[in-house]
Amino acid sequence: MKTRTRSQAKILNLLKTLKCAISAQDLYLELRNNQQNMGLATVYRALEALKLDGLVTVRTLTNGESLYSPVQQDQHHLTCLNCGASIPIPQCPVHELEQQLERSHQFKVYYHTLEFFGLCQQCQATP
């Protein structure tokens, strides 16, 4: 296990206490609200290092915003291209494929994301 910097440890701990994924900017503000002063560039560097260590997932929304969360389980979503609503999918349709790829390519998978894009029921009904 790699040694983490204090900034990485603070960010990882905060991510674990939050109930949802969060942007780097909102994470920066949350740290400031908790009197944990850290520059925004440091937040981005720490998130990148945690991602590369397989401890943090990043999910990019249709508007380009990246959301970060601790690796707890794989994430699957239905995302509306019109309103941006994101509906979590609890089941994993690619779990067996992940295991097969790990074996056939000798590749350690930390996590995966699966996202389907389209229109939600409300946006389909809007003319």
Could you report the per-residue pLDDT of 28-72, keeping only the tens digit for each?
A: 999 999 888 899 999 999 999 999 888 898 888 878 889 998 887
Q: Where do you find CATH 3.30.1490.190 in the chain?
A: 73-127
Position 14 scores a pLDDT of 92
Given a contact cutoff of 8 angstroms between Cβ atoms, the answer to whether 31 and 14 are in contact is yes
Cβ burial, residue 100 (10 Å; 0-12/13-18/19+)? exposed
Using a cut of 0.75, tell me whether the model's pTM lies above it: no
Q: For the domain bounded by 1-71, which CATH number is listed?
A: 1.10.10.10
Q: Where do you find CATH 1.10.10.10 in the chain?
A: 1-71
Domain 73-127 is of which CATH architecture?
Answer: 2-Layer Sandwich (3.30)
74-120 pLDDT tens trace: 678 898 999 988 888 888 888 889 899 999 999 988 878 788 899 99
